Structure 1
């Protein structure tokens, strides 16, 4: 690590807030943008592969920059106005802000990182509308809790560049609502989960994936960061629909930091088999190594050839049979771990 990179790490670590790095929020956008680019060039993971200190500093830098140029105060959507609360949570192509509606309801505002990444939020809008149409049918209403709701949309003018960024207003599934993503769970439990505690998560996750396929969608990014769980209420929400595709389309992108969870056919036209592989790759990363029967089940769903992977809907009963064989009659088991978002 050279001296410039070390100083950049120290600069980011010492910053108490975004203004310490980029100047006041009402200051010069050009100066703030220039400083971000300078630090990002020094700390970019492609330049410092495998260095965890640099990776952490880069992640913190991006978070501070999103905070600095994020929506200030109130966001005006097409259906209402929303008051932004606190700092954003980082996504692969967007930042997510907690907010409240005019009626006081909590919502999430997802803002594209740049004008060019707005196309991914457009895909998410289309996917969530398709899922809404599916779950509005009386026979499918039970699927609705597994998906976020698109409540409103907005366009935000970036004062620094003069470009417009896309924003979606979504139902809130954050820490305040009791949710946590599986990446946070994995970090808190590096030894892996007991199979009994994974069981309720996977049962619900399979239902969410089967529902998406019924709606004619391939999620395309089934990674731990996009699976939200409610440990107390045993809820699961499948989020992160920015890379959703119709079967037969090419995926519009991939999450670079999660290359290991994509199947060998990720470069081929998207299919439901891609989601089946990814959800079980995620399963494999969360389970403790001692959970051999469930890990074998996951391996059986991760065949190299897409045509050899079972459909998600076919796995619903198969997985329930495995759980009954392993643990007997189903009973509620409180999530025994303390996990904070």
Structure 2
């Protein structure tokens, strides 16, 4: 007998209760905590229905508080154990808190270095259609999607992007990004992985006598915009619109921190959001480092945004990402002049505290933010972000 179900109670009662119309978060927390094995919750004829009902009641976007978050994580673990008793699945077909639009739609090829490639490819930044064939896939490159300071993103004929460094001297950044994405997928909660790109594969690409490290990553579905682009269209957001972006951004970095990773470059051009479906994806993990390691590269145009400790080579912690994320959201609400005097006083104080003394726990800050939002605006309501 599972002690959590109480003396004299059949463990199957937990499953029967789960299959009934559970309607409150407290009931969902109790059911998940009482389950000793996946079968206790999902032993009936409609396990998917049970899972989705409980996930909605416990979702971090809908149920604030540490107890609900812990139950949500436990629910995800039980569901993963049921779906793959030997090893949790690495696919992410289940919708995550980033919204259905944030779900990964890339190839399901396993991760890892392809150990080289054959066929032609872009030499440096050369545009034009090129076919790259590796041992794991074939990628027909189209035009350039985006040129960054250190890398170029090429479109493919699928739901992926091929990322190549501008210079072979930055091959280490591509390798770092690949290793980070593998780590986050391996260690992270499967339901929260849509907040980060998925690494499809990583390989060495030779062109014109130069070898570059290439990463193939999932592409955000249509409709996603960077926070930088949103700021250009809407110079100042209502705090209620910025709030859902802030919440999801904390989930994204919190997921990485649990996997032992600091992103290190949480800036507006690295945060993609879907204004209508409220999805969010934190991209460009090439500057990431393990928690406790100093940053080895900086985004030069954002040098003034880094805290002095990061510039001095101090160990990077979760507080760094939290501070940078807060700056992103403050910029959304403050507009071009950065003025936040129009914000409610409690929100203004919360932003100031998160900048001056950022905590080392994104999940705790998320819980505190939820309390603040409840006090200021009451029950949450869906607000499409019209641009």
> Do both proteins adopt the same fold according to a TM-score greater than 0.5, normalized to the shorter chain?
yes
Q: Distance in 2 between matches of 1:309 and 1:315?
A: 7
How many residues end up aligned between the 2 structures?
A: 257
Structure-2 separation of matches of 1:157 and 1:310: 42
Q: Which residue of 2 aligns with 1:286?
A: 332
Give the CA deviation at 1:255.
0.3
Higher Rg of the two aligned structures: 2
Rounded Cα–Cα distance in structure 1 between residues aligned with 2:230 and 2:148: 17
Partner of 1:206: 250
Partner of 1:219: 263
Aligned to 1:3: none
* TM-score, normalising length: structure 2: 0.63
Q: Matches of 1:168 and 1:71 in 2, distance apart?
A: 18
Change (3 A) 1:76 1:185: same
- Per the alignment, residue 80 of structure 1 pairs with 137
Provide the rounded CA distance (Å) in 1 between the counterparts of 2:177 and 2:168. Answer: 15
Relative distance call for 1:186 and 1:111 in structure 2 (3 A) is same
Task: Provide the alpha-carbon RMSD of the alignment.
Answer: 2.0
For residues 79-110 of structure 1, what are the alpha-carbon distances to aligned partners after superposition, in whole Å with 9 as ceiling and x for unaligned? Answer: 1011112223022311111112xxxx321111
How far apart are the structure 1 equivalents of 2:123 and 2:246? 33
Match in the other structure for 1:60: none
Aligned to 1:177, the other structure's residue is in SS state coil
Task: Indicate yes or no: 2:168 matched with 1:115.
Answer: yes
- Contact 1:220–1:245 (Cα < 8 Å) also in 2: yes
- For 1:167, the equivalent position in structure 2 comes to 214
2:150 is matched with which residue: 93, 117, 135? 93
CA distance in 1, matches of 2:228, 2:206: 32
Aligned-pair distance for 1:78?
A: 3.6
Residues 301 and 309 in structure 1, CA contact (< 8 A), matched pair in contact too: yes
Correspondence 1:230 to 2:277? no
Q: Distance in 2 between matches of 1:182 and 1:121?
A: 23
1:198-231 deviations in Å (ceiling 9; x for gaps)? 1111111111111111000011001111111011
Per-residue CA deviations over 1:319-340 (Å, capped at 9, x if unaligned) read: 0111111111011111121xxx
Mapped partners of 1:68, 1:209: distance in 2: 31
| Cα distance between partner residues in 2 of 1:200 and 1:127 | 26
Task: Check the 8 A contact 1:115/1:165 in 2, yes or no.
Answer: yes
Instruction: Tell me the residue number matched to 1:129.
Output: 182
Alignment equivalent of 1:153, drawn from 202, 210, 232: 202
1:335–1:204 Cα change, 3 Å = same
Q: Which moved more, 1:291-300 or 1:314-323?
A: 291-300
Distance in structure 2 (CA, Å) of the matches to 1:328 and 1:76: 54
Supply the distance in 2 between the matched residues of 1:68 and 1:150 (Cα, whole angstroms).
22
Partner of 1:328: 378
1:299 alignment partner in structure 2: 352
Whether the aligned pair in 2 keeps the contact of 1:96 and 1:108 (CA below 8 Å) is yes
Q: TM-score, normalised by structure 1?
A: 0.71
CA contact (8 A) 2:125 2:166 kept: no
Does structure 1 retain, via aligned residues, the 8 Å contact 2:125–2:152?
A: no
Is contact 1:230–1:236 with CA below 8 Å preserved after alignment?
yes
Q: What runs of 5+ residues in structure 2 fail to find an aligned partner?
A: 1-121, 335-339
Q: State the distance in 1 between where 2:195 and 2:171 align.
A: 24
The Cα offsets for residues 240-297 of structure 1, whole Å up to 9 and x where unpaired, read as 1001101221211000111232112113121111111111111121113322443432
Q: Which of 171, 181, 186 lines up with 2:231 in the alignment?
A: 186
Distance 1:299 1:75 in 2: 49
